[in-house]
């Protein structure tokens, strides 16, 4: 990778790190970490989510009970203020990262599109 691309990517990384959105997300994680109940709920929910994603990925059967269990865990986390805040901030950050990836992918996408025409 050329120096100027590397330097710009690192500037972007630093800008993400110091952005208000990222700092808010970091504080939301710290708040959950300090709260044993929220921390346990969050890890339980993440674990269930991971199991479901693995099953979807490998094509394994997902029982209605597993779906119900994940929905219940999701509803519980949404009722916890620290967790609902964390998840809203996570979603915003994911959208920002996705937007940046989309911008960076534009030159290649345009090139592929013009070639396929």
Positions that interact with a copy of itself (CB under 8 A): 1-2, 4-6, 8-13, 15-17, 19-22, 25-26, 29, 32-33, 59, 93, 95-97, 99-101, 103-108, 111, 115
Residue 36 touches which member of a copy of itself, Ca ion, none, C-beta under 5-8 Å by kind? Ca ion
Contact by Cβ (8 Å): 89, 21: yes
Which of 36, 117 has the CB closer to Ca ion? Answer: 36
* Residue 70 tokens, joined: 């994940």
Which of 59, 65 has the CB closer to a copy of itself? Answer: 59
Residue 96 touches which member of a copy of itself, Ca ion, none, C-beta under 5-8 Å by kind? a copy of itself
Which of 1, 75 has the CB closer to a copy of itself? Answer: 1
The stretch near Ca ion (CB under 5 A) out of 32-40, 59-67, 69-77, 87-95 is 32-40
Angle, to 10 degrees, between the axis of helix 20-33 and the axis of helix 81-116? Answer: 140
């Amino acid at each position: 990778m050329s120096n100027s691309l590397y330097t710009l990517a690192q500037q972007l990384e630093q800008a993400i790190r110091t952005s208000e959105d990222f700092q808010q997300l970091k504080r939301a994680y710290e708040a959950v970490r300090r709260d044993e109940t929220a921390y346990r709920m969050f890890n339980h929910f993440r674990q269930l989510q991971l199991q479901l994603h693995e099953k979807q990925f490998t094509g394994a059967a997902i029982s209605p009970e597993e779906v119900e269990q994940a929905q219940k865990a999701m509803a519980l986390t949404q009722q916890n203020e620290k967790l609902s805040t964390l998840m809203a901030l996570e979603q915003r950050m994911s959208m920002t990262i996705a937007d940046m990836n989309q911008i960076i992918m534009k030159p290649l996408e345009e090139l592929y599109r013009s070639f396929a025409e």
